[in-house]
Amino acid sequence: MAVSEVPIRAVLRRLNPSVAHKAAEKPNIDEIYAPLHHADALDPNRALVIGGRGVGKSFWAAVLAAKDGRAAAAKAYPLLGLNRLDVELGFHEGALGTGGIAPSPAALRSALVVAKDPVSIWRSVVLKALDRGAGPQKLNERVKWLENDPETFEDLLLSSDFDRSKRERPLLIVFDALDVLANDWETIRKLTRALAKLAHEMSARRAIRLKLFMRIDQFKDMQRKTFADFSKLQTAAVALEWRPVDLYGAVFTRLWRDVHANKVIRTLGRAVPIAVGGADLPRELKEDENKQDALFSAFAGEFMGANKKRGRTYTWVPKHLADAYGETSLRSFLIALREAAERASSKTGLAIDSNGLHAGVLKASDTRREELKEDHPWVEDALNALDGLTVPCEEHEIIARWQNAKVLQSIKKRINPERPAAPVQLELSEHDTKEQALLDALIELGVVERRAVNRINVPDIFRVAARMKRKGGVAPRKG
């Protein structure tokens, strides 16, 4: 299918996998792809959004924070009223100084010392969102002022809520990157619980809302050490996920927007057949897995080998990029397809081929491991000790390796100025041994999975970069 080779491969090579985004940065409007079920994640009335690395938490936070981002999202989700919103960032990665309302981690740590109740810290952030001139400008002083005179805050909150409700101009305060609130779990836990309490309190207001984008492990930790009424927040929580049909829809959208690739997609689509006569990407290419499969097969090959024994290309890619929860991040998917396009051979007549897709999984696995090192420094120690291990394996084989390599001692010696150096599970008393606590921490992150009693498996997205083996699986790099 030589017609597809050049323009489609060119677009795939230009894919920007940097879904990792800072909420304070202006998003690229052209990169917005809005699956229908992501509407809940942007809904101002849904306070808690939960997701793993690379699923777009910070990207959607940035879309909400930017006026043109909200305008673009409003077209995809017209029922949410995003165009009527005023949005402030209550916390985000890189927050510094007193210019915005978002405090820095250093300011938060200092405020915890003076605050009688950690919730007061976040109330003082809301206060600044309501009125930049209300109260002292310094966070510490504003917290003390607010706790000494809570009625002033309450009066301002009520009057602002009434005014915004009357004008139909709601205020949404967005909190992102909650894993960098501090560099130790105890402080992160205090601040996160306090913020969640306030988010629940604010649900009683008519036109002022909080939205929290939270990592899965933080959410699970909050479930262990919860507070009154957390169940109400939890019930309305939104899981931010990318189904395979969404992943392919995002890629087809980028191909459709390229003038040269668009012509090829239309040509291939007619043979599927797909109704490709309109200006917008056909709905079938966003929602119909069979149509997506047929189109992807046309320029990537139907199978990952000579026949179906190696698996269908369409299902093989997301399956081998998924974590232990079966979830694939958009970033990993884009990285894999971009690498496949870079490695593809022109001799096949395809835009990408099976060899390139294998290389793409290796690249995505390398990137995912680097992300783990950044978010959870202790994971590197745990995985290094498993180099060469064949999975699935018995639980005791993993624990023996950790004991021989003195992994727990290495983790305890780690010092990280920005993030917790050890998993929170090591602080809990619910495990028989610290090694079992470490294993549970990896399970909670989706890095490993229990398949049966005492049988442990590691998904390819983490296994390959860790140079672990699996019979019939993608081979790790040598050396």
Whether 344 and 381 share a structural domain: no
The C-alpha atoms of residue 391 and residue 449 are separated, in whole angstroms, by 11
Q: Is 46 left (phi over 0), alpha (psi -120 to 50) or beta?
A: beta
- Among 217, 239, 261, where does a domain finish? 239
Specify the CATH number for the domain of residue 146. 3.40.50
Residue 4 maps to a domain: no
Residue 475 maps to a domain: no
- Among 239, 260, 277, where does a domain finish? 239
| Residue pLDDT tens, the chain, 479 long | 445 578 999 999 999 887 557 899 999 888 889 999 999 999 999 999 999 988 999 999 999 999 999 999 999 999 999 999 999 999 999 888 666 899 999 999 999 999 999 999 999 999 999 999 999 999 999 999 999 999 999 999 999 999 999 999 999 999 999 999 998 888 999 999 999 999 999 999 999 999 999 999 899 888 877 777 888 899 999 999 999 999 999 999 999 999 999 999 999 999 999 999 888 999 999 999 999 999 999 999 999 987 888 899 999 999 999 999 999 999 999 999 999 999 988 888 899 999 999 999 999 999 999 999 988 889 999 999 999 999 999 999 999 999 999 999 999 888 666 667 778 787 766 677 899 999 999 999 999 999 877 899 999 999 999 999 998 788 887 75
Residue 15 maps to a domain: no
The C-alpha atoms of residue 255 and residue 179 are separated, in whole angstroms, by 34
The C-alpha atoms of residue 215 and residue 212 are separated, in whole angstroms, by 10
Residue 388 maps to a domain: yes
Whether 234 and 359 share a structural domain: no
Whether 45 and 163 share a structural domain: yes
The C-alpha atoms of residue 264 and residue 267 are separated, in whole angstroms, by 5
Whether 63 and 182 share a structural domain: yes
Q: How many CB atoms lie within 10 A of CB 454?
A: 11
Task: Write down the H helix ranges in 150-258.
Answer: 150-167, 185-202, 216-224, 230-235, 244-257
Nearest CA among 17, 101, 96 for reference residue 59: 17
Whether 134 and 224 share a structural domain: yes
Whether 211 and 345 share a structural domain: no
Number of residues assigned to the chain: 479
The C-alpha atoms of residue 106 and residue 140 are separated, in whole angstroms, by 11
Residue 180 maps to a domain: yes
The C-alpha atoms of residue 131 and residue 149 are separated, in whole angstroms, by 16
- Among 370, 392, 420, where does a domain finish? 370
Q: How many CB atoms lie within 10 A of CB 241?
A: 20
Whether 101 and 77 share a structural domain: yes
Whether 306 and 344 share a structural domain: yes
The C-alpha atoms of residue 58 and residue 292 are separated, in whole angstroms, by 28
DSSP letter string, 258-313: SHHHHHHHHHHHHHTT----SSSPPTHHHH-HHHHHHHHHHHH-SBSSSSGGG-BH
Whether 409 and 290 share a structural domain: no
Q: What angle do CA 472, 474, 477 make, to 5 degrees?
A: 130
Domain that holds residue 314: 244-370
DSSP letter string, 370-419: HHHHHH-THHHHHHHTTTT-BSSEEHHHHHHHHHHHTHHHHHHH---SSS
Domains of the chain: total = 3
Residue 135 maps to a domain: yes
Whether 161 and 196 share a structural domain: yes
Residue 277 maps to a domain: yes
Whether 145 and 195 share a structural domain: yes
Q: How many CB atoms lie within 10 A of CB 413?
A: 11
Whether 170 and 250 share a structural domain: no
Residue 259 maps to a domain: yes
What is the pTM for the complete model shown? Answer: 0.92
